[in-house]
Structure 1
Amino acid sequence: MNFPTAAKLPGLAHFDEFLVNARPWPELSGFARFLVEFVYFGVKEGRACLFAGLFFLAIMVIPHQGLFGIPRYDVLLIIALAIQGFLLWARLETLDEAKAIFLFHVVGFILEAFKTSGAIQSWSYPDFAYTKLFGVPLFAGFMYAAVGSYIIQAWRLFDLRIRHYPSYWMASALALCIYLNFFTHHFIGDYRWYLAACALGLYARSTVIFRPHDRDRQMPLSLAFALIGFFIWLSENFSTFFGVWRYPNQIGAWSLVHVGKWSSWSLVIIMTFTIIAHLKHIKATIHVPE
């Protein structure tokens, strides 16, 4: 496990280590234990959301007209790159993790380019930017990368383990079908709910084990997917409210993002989680000489 050296950032150097290797308190019980674990859970969640939180803050505070003559979308790209660079420099993120996050950026950007194309136009990025490609500002991929960053960091901080994880080929096939359905439903029908039913069946026995403080806790993996999807749906409402992008029904005036998007984000989480689980599995099977 790599942490920043004390010569660089002594505060951050020990913070992750403090969270992961917290001193056991076996004597804690009842409400006191609940309170301690609740606080640790919240702090770890906040730390796991560091990239997403800073990026989301930038979305809210950067004015519509941009900064210093630089369009807003370009400013957001600069900020996203700066945050990513800082996490690498501070060793709060490893190079392997950054590579995985870049993969999510590419996967997300391809989807964005398709969804905003002239034939589809599921949503749009109405503002001008120098860093637009196929009508999509390059910062948009970082919104998907932020989801991947959160899961990667949470996996380490909470020491995640999965009990009864389905076979990798079945999980991969489902994740691929989920991704393809985001494209194909415009032409051959939306099979989202069939895929959701398959996911519920596939992960019915799967349990995620996590450690808020010094004891393992667990919950159904499907519930974790739904909860993360819900909070992303809330974030999407804030983002559209601040006009970062707009759905067709929000052009004249803002309205709540349809609750059906919650299911879409939950499916995205399943896809993202599958990629990370597979990357970790592959890395674990590769022998790295000392």
Structure 2
Amino acid sequence: MDRWAHARLRALGDRGWRTSALELVVFVLKQAWACLFGALMLALLLAARFWYPDDAALARDDALTLAAVVLQVLMLLTRLETAREMRVVGLFHVVGTVMEVFKTSAGSWAYAADGVLRIGDVPLYSGFMYAAVGSYLVRTFRIFDLRFDRWPRRRVTALLATAVYANFFTHHWLPDVRWALVAAVLLVLGRTVMHYRVHARTWRMPVVVGFVLVASAIWVAENVATYADAWLYPSQADGWHLVSLSKLGSWFLLMLISVVLVAWVYRPQPPDARVPTVGSGRRAAEETGDRDPLTAPVLDAHDG
């Protein structure tokens, strides 16, 4: 993608809106590339919902689990994920599956009683749905060369993430403090700015805005998954409908846990001065020693 965009920029020159439009196209393509594992998992869920035979010898949930394992192995063999990144994906599996086992026992949502590859009432493919979030985040860190201004101390984010994770369990017996935790996330990360390189330029975005955008995308994916009968909430037992928008708060908090897990592999770094930041003007370009955006570094094709 970078090489293609580099060639197009050479052809266009600095054409203002055309250059910005090209950056937008590259941004969308790279986001789709980062979402590869999650998109393929959703495709598997939909395919199983509409085309998997009801009388097959292998239960649908077991087939989904085995297909997800094959998909994960292919991601490693094709080097779309590295062994180092797989450590984070594995953590997402563990964290997600533990939550799934507890939440299903508490009646928060339910899976069909199908197959033998399960822990209690939870089919093992559920862990791969959390792994899809981990895969997206670790690939985003690499593909967009993420850097951060004013990232909080790791112990602060780790303690806050632990409190968020604990509240997912304890709110069944103790007061639910999720909105207080949302306020705490805004307080801790409200000043943190994410720098992400699309191609020739680096752009900026408040981290909490990124959390909201990714949480919204997960909410959309959740609606697709429940429509495919991957699981159902109690309110959907009599007929499918959109998942409540209140779930956005839960997914927003999940983003903090997710970023803390990813930071175990990709420690947040300050902005890189190699590429001019949009909005910083000529001074930034002079400081980087890279006045011509066409001379910005081109990543290896493996990085998108």
Scaled to the shorter chain, the TM-score interval is: 0.7 to 0.9
Distance (whole Å) between structure 1 residues aligned to residue 74 and residue 108 of structure 2:
34
Specify every segment of 5 or more residues in structure 2 that has no aligned partner in the other structure, as ranges: 269-304
- Report the equivalent of 1:70: 58
Cα–Cα, structure 1 residues 277 and 22, in superposed 2: closer, same or farther, change >3 Å?
Answer: farther
Q: CA deviation at 1:127?
A: 3.6
Where 2:19 maps in the other structure, the secondary structure is helix
Cα–Cα, structure 1 residues 173 and 198, in superposed 2: closer, same or farther, change >3 Å?
Answer: same
Contact 1:24–1:213 (Cα < 8 Å) also in 2: no
Contact 1:168–1:278 (Cα < 8 Å) also in 2: no
Deviations 1:187-245 (CA, angstroms, capped at 9, x unpaired) = 10111000000000101110010011110001000000011000100111111112110
- Report the equivalent of 1:81: 69
- Report the equivalent of 1:211: 197
- Report the equivalent of 1:99: 87
Where 1:249 maps in the other structure, the secondary structure is helix
Instruction: Find 1:46's aligned residue among 17, 21, 32.
Output: 32
Distance (whole Å) between structure 1 residues aligned to residue 166 and residue 108 of structure 2:
16
Q: CA deviation at 1:73?
A: 1.1
Matches within 5 A, 1:204-243: 204-243=190-229
Matched to 1:245, the amino acid is W
Distance (whole Å) between structure 2 residues aligned to residue 99 and residue 277 of structure 1:
12
Distance (whole Å) between structure 2 residues aligned to residue 18 and residue 49 of structure 1:
20
Distance (whole Å) between structure 1 residues aligned to residue 80 and residue 250 of structure 2:
30
Matched to 2:100, the amino acid is E
Instruction: Find 1:124's aligned residue among 110, 118, 142.
Output: 110
Runs of 4+ in 1 over 2 A off after TM superposition: 21-30, 63-69, 278-282
Q: CA deviation at 1:55?
A: 0.8
Contact 2:34–2:140 (Cα < 8 Å) also in 1: yes
Contact 1:66–1:75 (Cα < 8 Å) also in 2: no
Where 2:49 maps in the other structure, the secondary structure is coil
Q: CA deviation at 1:29?
A: 3.7
Question: Number of aligned pairs?
Answer: 265
Contact 2:218–2:251 (Cα < 8 Å) also in 1: yes
Specify every segment of 5 or more residues in structure 1 that has no aligned partner in the other structure, as ranges: 1-14, 283-290
Where 2:81 maps in the other structure, the secondary structure is coil
Is 1:111 the counterpart of 2:99? The answer is yes
Contact 1:64–1:72 (Cα < 8 Å) also in 2: no
- Report the equivalent of 1:12: none
Where 1:225 maps in the other structure, the secondary structure is helix
Instruction: Find 1:60's aligned residue among 42, 46, 59.
Output: 46
- Report the equivalent of 2:158: 172
Contact 1:65–1:72 (Cα < 8 Å) also in 2: no
Identity of aligned residues (%): 36
- Report the equivalent of 2:176: 190
Distance (whole Å) between structure 2 residues aligned to residue 110 and residue 66 of structure 1:
28
TM-score by length of 1: 0.86
Deviations 1:16-63 (CA, angstroms, capped at 9, x unpaired) = x748x9569483342201210111001101110111111111111113
TM-score by length of 2: 0.83
Instruction: Find 1:137's aligned residue among 120, 123, 127.
Output: 123
Q: Which has the larger radius of gyration?
A: 2
Matched to 2:72, the amino acid is Q
Distance (whole Å) between structure 2 residues aligned to residue 265 and residue 96 of structure 1:
25
- Report the equivalent of 1:149: 135
Tell which has more relative contact order, 1 or 2 (C-alpha 8 A, sep 6+): 2
Q: CA deviation at 1:281?
A: 2.6
Matched to 1:201, the amino acid is L
Distance (whole Å) between structure 1 residues aligned to residue 189 and residue 15 of structure 2:
32
Distance (whole Å) between structure 1 residues aligned to residue 229 and residue 20 of structure 2:
39
